[in-house]
């Protein structure tokens, strides 16, 4: 039908065999401004790889809104210049992450785990990822969360391209059998 964008089923009307068809200006989604209909993506850990992902996502700016979590206010101008909305928060401070709950449909997690010794005897735990996960669970969960590990197993490569044949130099303690 011309001018019809959405079919809205009213449960009360459905029991009487009726389906309501509303024009887009009366549909809950059609009435929203375009900026609220875009996919909302959060990048956590917006370093080199995160900025590359942001550029790819921003190529479809009409359909995707990109935000990045940063713990450094001085980083905000660089993120804004790339078309990314900076959000101030710290993965080590769970209280600073609460406002992220229920906002994003997709999350790209690229943040490095805590440094050696920061988690004590539980060196294998990623408390930063746990803090974000707890914050996101406060409301509706994102439709997808992509967790990318770091190349920290290769050590500091000074920005060089890393191939999987490169010798490893991890800084994480190696667990030995007792």
Residue 141's pLDDT band (cuts 50, 70, 90): confident
Residues of the chain with pLDDT > 90, as a percent, come to: 25
Query: 9 versus 21: which is more confidently predicted?
Result: 21
CB 94 within 8 A of CB 74: no
Give the residue from 2, 42, 3, 66 showing the smallest Cα distance to 142: 42
What residues pair up with 22 in beta bridges, in sequence order?
6
Give 173: exposed, middle or buried? Use CB within 10 Å, 0-12, 13-18, 19+.
exposed
Judged against a pLDDT cut of 60, whether residue 93 lies above it is answered with yes
pLDDT one-digit tens code per residue, 144-175: 888 887 656 777 777 777 777 888 776 655 55
When pLDDT is averaged across residues 90-106 and rounded to a whole number, the result is 89
Judged against a pLDDT cut of 60, whether residue 14 lies above it is answered with no
Give the residue from 102, 103, 44, 98 showing the smallest Cα distance to 70: 44
Distances (CA, A) of 161 to 45, 46, 97, 147, 157: 19, 18, 33, 21, 8
**Confidence at residue 173, expressed as pLDDT on a 0 to 100 scale:** 56
* CB proximity list for 172: less than 8 A, separation 6 or greater: 116, 123, 152, 153
Give the domain ranges of the chain. 1-32, 35-150
d(CA 36, CA 13): 29
When pLDDT is averaged across residues 114-131 and rounded to a whole number, the result is 68
When pLDDT is averaged across residues 34-54 and rounded to a whole number, the result is 85
Question: If you write DSSP's letter for every residue of 75-87 in order, what string do you get?
Answer: GHHHHHHTT-EEE
Residues of the chain with pLDDT > 70, as a percent, come to: 66
Considering only the top CATH level, what class is 35-150?
A: alpha beta
Q: What is the mean pLDDT of the chain?
A: 76
Say what the pTM is.
Answer: 0.66
């Amino acid at each position: 039908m011309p001018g019809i964008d959405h079919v809205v089923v009213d449960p009360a009307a459905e029991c009487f065999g009726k389906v309501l068809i509303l024009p887009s200006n009366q549909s809950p989604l059609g009435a929203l401004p375009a900026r609220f209909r875009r996919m909302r993506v959060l990048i956590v850990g917006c370093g080199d790889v995160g900025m590359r992902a942001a550029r790819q996502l921003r190529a479809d700016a009409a359909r995707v809104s990109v935000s990045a979590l940063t713990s450094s206010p001085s980083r905000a101008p660089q993120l804004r210049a790339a078309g990314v909305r900076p959000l101030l928060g710290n993965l080590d401070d769970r209280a600073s992450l609460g406002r992220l709950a229920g906002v994003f449909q997709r999350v790209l997690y690229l943040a490095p785990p805590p440094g050696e010794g920061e988690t004590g005897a539980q060196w294998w735990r990623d408390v930063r990822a746990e803090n974000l996960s707890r914050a996101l669970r406060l409301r509706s969960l994102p439709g997808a969360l992509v967790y990318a590990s770091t190349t920290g197993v290769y050590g500091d490569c000074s920005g060089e391209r890393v191939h999987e044949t490169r010798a490893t130099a991890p800084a994480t303690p190696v667990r030995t059998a007792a």
